[in-house]
Structure 1
Amino acid sequence: MADQDEERDYAAALDTAERLLGMRLERFLQPGVGEPANGADFKRLATVHTFGDAWPRTDVLDTRTRALLSVTIAATLGTLEPLRGQLRIALNNGVTREEIVEAFIHIEAYAGAARAFEGDQVALQVFEEKAKDA
């Protein structure tokens, strides 16, 4: 029974990720060359926790607010590839490009110019990607 519950939770998390990102995650979850068997466990656990447990908690913080917070966190940490995904989620969920730039202004003040500029460069790429899709 637990296996069925785990599969259901994983499928629901993947559906939430698709709704937020506008794309399926499976292509990012494929095993890498030389990846040990428990790599799949890590990806499943991270996906379920992130998109099954954290993102759906909209009683206090709505999705739009969570998205802007996630952009800020990823940029501040300097995790640029995850930032790309967080920017997509933010733009898909009502955060404006102007609000994202304001977040970088605030990041610059508190986390430093280097982090803010790196994040802004990723944001410009995502803005361009979105403009081409429009």
Structure 2
Amino acid sequence: MTTTQEEGRYTEALAHAEHLLGIPLETFLEPTPGEPANGADFKRLATVQTFGAAWPRDEVLDTRTRALVSVTIAAVLGTLEPLRGQLRIALNNGATPEEIAEVFIQVAAYAGAARAFEGYQIASQVFAEVARGLEAGGTGGA
């Protein structure tokens, strides 16, 4: 059960996520077959923590820098689908493909070439998606 205040925080977090990603997060939060009822609680709590508490903290790290840090973390952990989202956030918030390539140079140096290559394959796919969006007259965001 949630309170009105909790629902307000969740709504704000969803709006912030959409602003960062360029697409609604709700698409990724739909229940899946066999998912337990408290799965929705997990998704709500994780969304509020991530997009309602961590990402808005731009007093010390701006969003662009925070996005590049998040790309690095996802790449090092090998979480490829979250990496795809972090790349979109980075590109939507001012990071360039060249800067992202430099992130993968650091990942290769400190986390290993195999992990960096695996992540860079995802980055290349996202770069191509953005390029296709630009060619089609879109904004290039995800």
TM-score w.r.t. the length of structure 2 is: 0.92
| Aligned counterpart, 1:59 | 59
In the TM superposition, 1:23-38 aligns within 5 A as 23-38=23-38
| Aligned counterpart, 1:97 | 97
What RMSD over aligned residues (CA atoms) do the two structures have, in Å? 0.7
In the TM superposition, 1:37-116 aligns within 5 A as 37-116=37-116
Cα deviations across residues 56-106 of structure 1 (Å, max 9, x unaligned)?
Answer: 000111100000000000000000000000000000000000000001001
Aligned equivalents of 1:101, 1:121: Cα separation in 2: 11
Aligned residue pairs, count: 133
Moved over 2 A (4+): none
Query: Which runs of 5 or more structure 2 residues have no equivalent in the other structure?
Result: 135-142
Query: Which runs of 5 or more structure 1 residues have no equivalent in the other structure?
Result: none
Identity across the alignment (%): 71
* SS of the residue 2:3 aligns to: helix
Aligned equivalents of 1:31, 1:23: Cα separation in 2: 18
* SS of the residue 1:133 aligns to: helix
User: How far 1:27 sits from its partner (Å)?
Assistant: 1.0
Aligned equivalents of 1:18, 1:29: Cα separation in 2: 13
| Aligned counterpart, 1:19 | 19
TM-score w.r.t. the length of structure 1 is: 0.98
